[in-house]
Amino acid sequence: MRYAIIADIHANLAAFQAVLEDIHGKGEVDEIWCLGDIIGYGPEPRQCIELVKKYCAVCIAGNHDLAAIGKMELAYFNPTAAEACRWTTGQLNPIDVHYLGNLPMKAEKGDFLLVHGSPADPALEYMISASIAEKNFAFFSQKYCLAGHSHIPAAFREEGKTCQPIHLTFGVGLVMHKQRMIVNPGSVGQPRDGDPRASYAIYDSEGLMLRLYRVEYNIGATQDKIMQAGLPVPLITRLEQGR
C-alpha cells in the first residue's frame, strides 16, 4: 500500500494542486492523509477545503482550522496570523464550518498516529527539537507518529530512552522499520525550511520506505491572490523565501 502524507496547506490552492498532480504522477496511492491546517494565511480556503474533502481519506484538525471557526483563541496567534485568520473566518460558509468543526485531533492509521502538532499537545506543540520529540514518544502507543505544524520536514528516531534527529532529504528514502519514529512531511502551502517548493511525503508499506518530495508551483499566482484579498504583505514575501 502507498500513502501520501500532506500537511499545512494553508489555503494555497496552486501549491496544493501541484502536489496532488505530483502525487498522482508518481503512480497509484491508496490514500492521502492530511495532518491539518488546510486554511489560514492563504487566499483560497474554501477551494482547499473542497479538495481535501475530495482527495483525503483523513484530515486532522490544525490550530488554524480551529481558530477560524472560533474553537481556538486568537491569543495564540501573532498579529499577521490573527489578521489572516479573521479574514479566513469571513470566507467560510456554514458547511465549511461544520466540516472543520468535526475534524479529529488525532487519528490512527495502521502503524501510524496522525496529529497536527504533537501527541502531547495535538494542536499547538512544535516538535522541532530532539528533546521535544523525545518527550513525545511516551504520548503515543503506535509505532510511528506523523505530525505537521512546524512547516519543516523532520524525522526523529527513538533510541532506548533518547531520541536521534534524522536528516530527511528530498528524494532520499527513509527506512521505517525497527525503531519507533516521528516524521514531519513539511508544508504544502507555506514551507519554512528555506526551500519555497511545496513539500510532502509518500510512504510505501511494502518497502517500509518513506520518501520526501518537493514540488515547484506557481508562487506568483498565490502571491497575486494574497494581494488581491488584502491579506498582510509579509505573507506574500515569505512564500518566495520559504520562511
Give the footprint of Zn ion on this chain (CB under 5 A).
Answer: 8, 37
The C-alpha atoms of residue 23 and residue 169 are separated, in whole angstroms, by 17
- Integer CA distances (angstroms), 134 to 128, 200, 209, in order: 11, 23, 22
Q: Which is nearer to Zn ion, 67 or 219 (CB)?
A: 67
Q: Which is nearer to Zn ion, 8 or 44 (CB)?
A: 8
Q: Which is nearer to Zn ion, 8 or 193 (CB)?
A: 8
The C-alpha atoms of residue 79 and residue 239 are separated, in whole angstroms, by 18
| Position closest to Zn ion via CB | 37
Q: Which is nearer to Zn ion, 41 or 137 (CB)?
A: 41
Minimum Å gap between C-beta 238 and Zn ion is 12
Q: Which is nearer to Zn ion, 8 or 158 (CB)?
A: 8
Minimum Å gap between C-beta 12 and Zn ion is 11
Minimum Å gap between C-beta 213 and Zn ion is 19
Residue entry with cell 532520499: 172
Beta bridge pairs of residue 200? 213
Minimum Å gap between C-beta 209 and Zn ion is 26
CB-based burial label for 156 (10 Å; 0-12, 13-18, 19+): buried
Minimum Å gap between C-beta 177 and Zn ion is 29
- Integer CA distances (angstroms), 19 to 61, 173, 182, in order: 20, 18, 22
Crossing angle of helices 219-229 and 234-241, in 10° steps, is: 170
